[in-house]
DNA sequence: GTATCATCTGGAGTCAACTCCATGTCAAGT
DNA sequence: ACTTGACATGGAGTTGACTCCAGATGATAC
């Protein structure tokens, strides 16, 4: 897979793909003729994983740590699992939080313009 | 309410509160003796609202537009409602998205280290 | 064999959203 | 009278995460 293909497939810019690799968010991709990247299936998996994690706002720093642990090998499995669990919990919390805000927004929209209910509105925000 | 009190109450830094007001995220706060801000209940409501919206990642630009519409008065109610609805929908979509990622993460954690299931894992990421 | 094209690299630039800083004012305590 | 402390302002600096650029290289089309 060329970088252009990966870029299209995951809708990540070529620059972003190179950036991710540069900072260690993705293990180094094997190079073919003339130093060009040739993404393996495993590389693709990584890109997909990282894309998901980034959508979930998991900081790049944290993901770099994860990649480092993977690189260190078998001995780090527990730490990796712990790291993922931590992030999972953060994410779950965030979702709950956003859910609450969604409900508030729904309420606000439903009652928009009704001059009544001022008291309750004040309780909300 | 002094700025320090508002800061403590909403866990927003004093700098952030001033910044929000400066860029028009919060209507101008009335000043007391010596030019010091004196937050009214209405101001507090605004701060709370804006805080929520920012937690939901609604961009500052969008919120500034909203504040502007409010300032323009009654005639803009429909536009404001539309704006809120748009943001509500984005938020709902984002939550659904995050929910999916949470499930993937849960799956990944549950099967962590089990060398089996490699095929399914590949399907996931 | 030359123009075009995709890719490469290292480094600089951009953007949103704060965050910090220097300097100044004012009221209160000693 | 003087120090202290909270607050004010305008503007500069920081951070995270990209994004863009200049210059080089190798493959492909004509």
Kindly report, residue by residue over A24-64, the tens digit of the pLDDT: 999 999 998 888 999 999 999 999 999 999 999 999 999 99
What gap in Å lies between CA A33 and CA A83, rounded to an integer? Answer: 37
Q: How much is the pLDDT for A114?
A: 76
**Among candidates A12, A34, A11, which has minimal Cα distance to A25?**
A12
Nearest nucleotide to B15 by CA–C1' distance? C19
Residues of chain A with Cβ-Cβ distance to B84 below 8 Å are 105, 108-109, 112
Cα-Cα-Cα-Cα torsion B87, B93, B95, B96, nearest 10 degrees, comes to 170
Q: CB closer than 7 A to strand D: which residues? A: A 13, 15-16, 19, 33-35, 54, 59-61; B 2-5, 14, 18, 22, 31, 35-37
Going A94 to A100 to A102 to A104, the CA torsion angle's sign is negative
Average pLDDT, chain B: 92
**Which of A105, A108, A112 should be substituted to probe chain B, the one whose Cβ sees the most B Cβ atoms within 10 Å?**
A105
Nucleotides of D strand lying within 7 Å of any protein CB atom: 6-10, 16-21, 25-27
Helix (H, G, I), strand (E, B) or coil at B25: coil
Nearest nucleotide to A12 by CA–C1' distance? D18
* Residue A116 confidence class, pLDDT cut points 50, 70, 90: low
* Residue % of chain A over a pLDDT of 90: 83
The CB-side HSE value for A115 (13 A sphere, CA atoms) comes to 1
| Residue A28 phi, psi (nearest 5) | -55, 135
How many other C-beta atoms are found inside a 10 Å radius of the C-beta of residue B2?
13
Q: Is the pLDDT of residue A121 over 70?
A: no
Q: How much is the pLDDT for A113?
A: 77
């Amino acid at each position: 897979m060329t970088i252009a293909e990966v870029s299209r497939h995951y809708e990540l810019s070529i620059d972003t793909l190179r950036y991710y690799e540069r900072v260690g968010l993705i293990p180094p991709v094997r190079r073919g003729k003339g130093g060009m990247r040739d993404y393996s299936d495993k590389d693709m998996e990584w890109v997909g994983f990282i894309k998901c994690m980034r959508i979930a706002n998991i900081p790049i720093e944290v993901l770099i740590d994860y990649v480092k642990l993977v690189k260190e090998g078998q001995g780090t499995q527990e730490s990796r699992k712990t790291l993922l669990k931590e992030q999972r919990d953060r994410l779950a919390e965030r979702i709950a939080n956003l859910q609450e805000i969604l409900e508030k927004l729904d309420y606000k929209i439903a009652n928009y313009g009704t001059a009544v209910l001022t008291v309750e509105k004040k309780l909300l925000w």
